[in-house]
Amino acid sequence: MIIMVRISLIFNALEASLKKFVILFLCLCASCTPFTAQPVPGPDKQGAGTILGGALGGGAGAIAAKSLTGAAGPEGALIGVGFGAVYGALTGLSHDLIEESQITLLSQEKALKEKAWAQDLLAQHYQRRLELHPSRDIFPADWFFEGDGHKLKPEGKILVDQIARLTKNRMPWARLVIASYSLSQDPESEYSSFINKRRAQSIAKGFVSGGVEPRRVFTKSVTLPSPVLVDPHDDPFRYHQAIEIIPLDY
């Protein structure tokens, strides 16, 4: 008889321990916030964690009250809401901070890769310049623009920024002319003039964004009957449209 009582007490204790474990597990799961594979800027998970943790924590608290007291009262649910909301908010906040750190690191890595790419391309350009036109700084327009477009393409923006910074370091006080060239048998071609003006303005804005003082930057549109430059090692049509950076007082 005594053995049966002891066995019954052991089973009761195990059952109570199991219930507590299940309740603890539910409370922890209830407070978890959604975490996406891709980092998302902003406090999106802190708010989501508060709401989700509060809702599920309330349910877990109600289950706890039912399991431990035999009656589902509002006290357990309220306690669950409080703990779930606080824990969910803290968990969401920690996830937000981790994501912000990830986004910052990814942004820095991308900027370093873009800078390295631009500097490598410009190093090749300046090497060719020594062979072809050492006294002039002429670039093919397709480095910056698509077709006959006048808006800088993404890689064009990166190049303009690097050229502007290099120019500012080399010639901090010089006035600069951004000249845009295109081919036309009609020297008064309105279309060529329009494209050239817009392109020169786009690059001038990039120079200003790169730190060059606006009052030192000027633009020039030039329509020519033949290319401003012919590179024997490159596509013969490459410089039918071109951009030149001209220092006025260097």
pLDDT of residue 1: 55
Percent above pLDDT 70 for the chain: 56
Q: Is residue 119 part of a domain?
A: no
Q: Note whether 79 and 148 are same-domain residues.
A: no
For tokens 């600069």, name the residue: 176
**Which of 108, 142, 168 is the last residue in one of the domains?**
108
Whether the Cβ atoms of residue 247 and residue 175 lie closer than 8 Å to each other: yes
State how many domains the chain has: 2
pTM for this structure?
0.59
Range of the domain at 100: 2-108
> Which of the 8 DSSP states describes residue 172?
T
pLDDT at 75 over 80: no
Distance of CA 80 to the CA centre of its chain: 39
Residue range 139-161, pLDDT digits in tens:
999 999 998 899 999 999 999 99
Half-sphere exposure of 24 (CA within 13 A, CB side): 6
Q: Note whether 103 and 186 are same-domain residues.
A: no
Res. 68 pLDDT band, cuts 50 70 90: very low
Residue range 39-60, pLDDT digits in tens:
666 555 555 555 555 555 555 5
Q: Note whether 99 and 181 are same-domain residues.
A: no
**Which of 108, 123, 142 is the last residue in one of the domains?**
108
**Which of 69, 92, 108 is the last residue in one of the domains?**
108
